[in-house]
Structure 1
Amino acid sequence: MPEMTIEAVNQAELPKLCNLFNLARVKNGCFPDETFEMAEFAQVIEGERLFVSRIANKITGFASVWEPDNFLHHLYVSPQYQRQGVGSALLDYCVNLFGLPMTLKCIKANVAACDFYEKHGWHIAEKAEGPEGKYFLYIRET
């Protein structure tokens, strides 16, 4: 596989990230059957620092961090690049850049994502329910 790069997102790429966001959520099946228009997506990521992964200049995933709380708000990988190290690379990049402790939320029904985070050293700090259903608040401290 060609080398992967991760860098801050270029604002012109936001429509591509919106498409990836919608595709990954629909394909996952754990989210409500809704897609986000660009204006809605812009609101969801407002004020966050976004990073994009690329392989052979193709966007393969993205992550966003709400820096004031050191909260990983989004981590999405294009379905065709899942289970190829993209999510792990994005996760490691954010942890290395922002440091620990860091938190994130994951919908309980998204078992694959919960397993992914736990495999990477995150543990459940809280169980709660939100608009998208029951979720876990994960924390990684070391």
Structure 2
Amino acid sequence: MLINFCSVYSSYSVVMRRLFVEMPRARARNNAGAAASGSTPSESGKSVPVSVRPDGCVLITVRAKPGAKRSAITGVQDDAVGVAVSAAPVEGEANAELLRYVATVLGIRKSGISLYKGSRSRDKVLCIQTGLLSAETSLQRLRQEAKES
């Protein structure tokens, strides 16, 4: 009888863990991808990869491509800004290089930009501190750099 109770309890705990732990995480990831992309419609109705949080922080959705020969903005699409990063994705080196390069492109100090989401993913969200740069200005500078690259 004890063996049956243990196997039933084990099966029950597996089901409960899937229902209440794993599935909400998966749902949160799927919903966060849409919400954290920060896409807000512009005047023309297209979505852009730059948005503003209620506290004034400017969010930039980035798709990082580590291991490139040189750091560059590869393009500004509707969902994300493509950034080639010259550092390898080892021990946070690519994240540090990404922050340094984007800060240089935007003309702000490195301490004014931080990694908001995606430290271990290619899809990242960067946060520019409140008051340093507007969403329109940052998008304009990213597009300008993409044309020059």
* TM-score normalised per structure 2: 0.30
* TM-score normalised per structure 1: 0.31
Higher helix proportion, which one?
2
Which structure would you say has the larger Rg?
A: 2
